[in-house]
Amino acid sequence: MIHSHNVFNYPSPQHPARMEPYIIKLPRYLDTRGNLSFIEEDTHLPFKIRRVYWIYDVPGGEIRGGHAFRQTEELIVGLSGSFEVVLHNGYKEFRYLLNRSYYGIYVPKMIWRMLDNFSTNSLALIIASTEYFDADYIRDFEEFRELCTE
Ligand code: TYD
Q: Is residue 146 helix, strand or coil?
A: helix
For residues 73-83, average pLDDT: 98
Rounded to the nearest angstrom, the distance between the alpha carbon of 54 and the centre of ligand 1 is 10
Tell me the per-residue pLDDT of 11-60, one tens digit each, with 9 for 90 and over.
555 555 668 999 999 999 999 999 999 999 999 999 999 999 999 999 99
- Active-site entry in 3, 15, 44, 67: 67
130 vs 48: CA distance, rounded Å = 8
Our answer to whether residue 67 is catalytic in this structure is: yes
Task: Tell me if 65 CB under 6 Å of ligand 1.
Answer: yes
pLDDT of residue 3: 38
